Structure 1
Amino acid sequence: MEVNCEGCAGCCLDWRRLLEDRTYDRARGSIRDGDGNRDPIDDDPNFVALTRETVRTYLDQGVADALTPRFWDARDEREGVEIDGRQVAAVAGRPVFFVGLRKPPKPVAPFGREEPSWLPACVFLDPTTLQCRVHGGALFPQECGAYPAHTLTLEATTECGRVEETFGGDRLLDVSVTKDLDGLVLGNAAIGEKLFCHPQPAALEGTIERLASGTTTAEDRAETIAVAAASSPGTVAISDHHYERARERALETVNGGSPGEDDRDSRRESWIGPAIAEWQQRRANADEPVPSPRVAADVEVARGAPETPGWDALDDE
């Protein structure tokens, strides 16, 4: 498998609003089976589902504010639980969800465009180079590293193919896929490993409504992150001890650590939350021109975000 990612990042951002036809395909994030689809409650077409171990790594590294949940609408009340006035897909009465990466608005100019546009983009995407800030590191999701191999294996349309069809160019250069695909977890094997089950639907009151409107709070995200981190593969059960510890850590990431903690263990505020807040504020100032992607140096890098090498540096390797 070989892909040409330079100037693209189509799988890292939501580029649908660049289209003249604004009819969005929510089914791209649906759960499909022989009886129909379960549409996601959020509107992210390129949601990357993280494993339990990756969620725990983010907690340990103090960057849990990069994470967000995904829930689905149930097909009917028989397979769902009612939360915030809607039927949410569930297993054994427990709402099921993924944990993935947040996509704040960023000024980007993908696909050879000369002028930047505000698009929802992965929290780790460098708007200037359109490269991943954590590529190859401990925070780089396994699913991202495998893309689009898993999609090709499932015989689904890749984002590379959509970009080629819409904007031209060659993105997917080699479609051969190895038979040994680490991280492709399907069916019951996904429960507790990538598909998590919340044990208390009542604790999600308000969260589902805010998820649908794109206004989740740090507390909303900490709740689901904690359940994911406390889950066990192959079961809907969670560890109460791990849940409490994970929730505390997730909130410490936002609040800058707990008073009295040893400095070695304190979870200080990461660059991610403040950067997202500034991107959102800049986007809210709709009367102002879209800034250059280079403003990311002030919004992200100045706060501690890793820099990216640029494509020329990679070509020289």
Structure 2
Amino acid sequence: MEVHCEGCAGCCMDWRPLTDGDAAGGRRRAALDDTTRESLDGDPNFVPLTRGEVRTFLERGMAAALTPRFWHAADEAEAVEIDGYEVASVADRPVFFVGLRKPPKPVAPFGREGESWLPTCVFLDPTTLQCRIHDSDLYPAECGAYPKHNLALEQETECERVEAAFGGDGDRLVDDSVPDDLEDLLLGSQAIGEKLFCHPVPERLEGIVDRVATGELTREDRAECLAVAAASSPGTVAISEYHYEWGKERALEATAADDADDAESWLGPAIREWERRREGASAADGGSVPPASIADDIETERGAPETPGWDALES
């Protein structure tokens, strides 16, 4: 696969507000057999992490970067009712993905002259529109597999959706050939316990499901879901109690440490600062948008990895 990403990052943000929500957006992330399910959170570009990736983020003290995704059930046979929602389940266990959070950031993708506040991947540098962890062992496998999974599933890629909405004459998806090796495309039962996680106690999700739908998740909510993901067993709905307790402790420790003045991770403080800035802009006259370069103060100065820039990649 070959893609031309400079100035784009359409797969790393929710750019629908730029089109008044009219553009058909969102990668198809098929882990359940029925593709009619709608997510509770409404994020069109949710990249699912594997169990191993979730554990790695927890080990690095980076739980603040992660969040769960649940779905509306396709029918009564698979539904578990929680907080008034019919939630998709497997064997009466609510199922969810774990992916990367998208705080609001001032970005100017697709050649736009001015920045706009858009939900943007926590690891995307707003200035260069490059991923801060692209060359690291934290880079999610699903990000690296895009857009070949879409093409293998005969689904429109984000490259094509961006071009349809903003132009570009086919210069983003440079090579649309699909590699033979697609072992990491986990579908249906293959995904269970590996990237589709089954919560063993639906009662523990009361309140959490509603906060997923309203975008008001707490650190405790996230810790509960991350613990289950870390404790899952590929191919089964079994949960390791040891890894559940470990995962929950790691998640809570990491997010609590983010509140300290000398927080070890830049993620939690940066996310809170982005949210504070966005709320402040909403209250201000005209809803002002700062330049993308403010990310130097909010992310880089807190320890976020810098990106190489596009000139460095071309040389």
Give the TM interval when normalised to the shorter protein: over 0.9
- Maintained 8 Å contact 1:198/1:227: yes
Q: What is the identity, as a one-letter code, of the residue corresponding to 2:192?
A: I
Pairwise mapping of residues 120-135 of structure 1 onto structure 2 (< 5 A)? 120-135=119-134
Structure 2 residue 305 is matched with structure 1 residue 306? yes
Aligned to 2:275: 280
Q: 1:23 to 1:83 in 2, by over 3 A?
A: farther
Q: What is the identity, as a one-letter code, of the residue corresponding to 1:231?
A: S
The RMSD of aligned alpha carbons is 1.8
Q: What is the identity, as a one-letter code, of the residue corresponding to 1:277?
A: R
1:4-52 superposed Cα distances (whole Å, 9 cap, x missing partner): 0000000000000000454776895677646x61111011100000100
1:108-133 superposed Cα distances (whole Å, 9 cap, x missing partner): 00000000000000000000000000
Give, in angstroms, the shift of residue 154 of structure 1.
0.6
Structure 2 residue 233 is matched with structure 1 residue 232? yes
Aligned to 2:223: 222
Task: Classify the secondary structure of the residue corresponding to 1:37.
Answer: coil
Aligned to 1:137: 136
Give, in angstroms, the shift of residue 182 of structure 1.
3.8
Measured in 1, the distance between the counterparts of 2:140 and 2:303 equals: 20
Give, in angstroms, the shift of residue 62 of structure 1.
1.0
Measured in 2, the distance between the counterparts of 1:27 and 1:181 equals: 17
Pairwise mapping of residues 132-211 of structure 1 onto structure 2 (< 5 A)? 132-169=131-168, 170-211=171-212
Give unpaired runs (5+ residues) of structure 1. 258-267
Runs of 4+ in structure 1 off by over 3 angstroms are 20-34
Q: What is the identity, as a one-letter code, of the residue corresponding to 1:186?
A: L
Normalized against structure 2, the TM-score is what? Answer: 0.93
- Maintained 8 Å contact 1:41/1:73: yes
Measured in 1, the distance between the counterparts of 2:110 and 2:187 equals: 32
1:163-212 superposed Cα distances (whole Å, 9 cap, x missing partner): 11111111001101211124111121110001000001111111111111
Normalized against structure 1, the TM-score is what? Answer: 0.92
Q: What is the identity, as a one-letter code, of the residue corresponding to 1:16?
A: R
Q: 1:77 to 1:27 in 2, by over 3 A?
A: farther
Measured in 2, the distance between the counterparts of 1:20 and 1:276 equals: 25
Aligned to 2:109: 110
Task: Classify the secondary structure of the residue corresponding to 2:72.
Answer: coil
Q: How many residues are paired up?
A: 305
Pairwise mapping of residues 20-99 of structure 1 onto structure 2 (< 5 A)? 20-22=20-22, 33=33, 37-99=36-98
Give, in angstroms, the shift of residue 80 of structure 1.
1.0
Q: 1:195 to 1:66 in 2, by over 3 A?
A: same
1:203-256 superposed Cα distances (whole Å, 9 cap, x missing partner): 111111111111111111111011000000010010011100110001111112
Task: Classify the secondary structure of the residue corresponding to 2:36.
Answer: strand
Structure 2 residue 8 is matched with structure 1 residue 13? no
Give unpaired runs (5+ residues) of structure 2. none
Q: 1:311 to 1:27 in 2, by over 3 A?
A: closer
- Maintained 8 Å contact 1:27/1:37: no
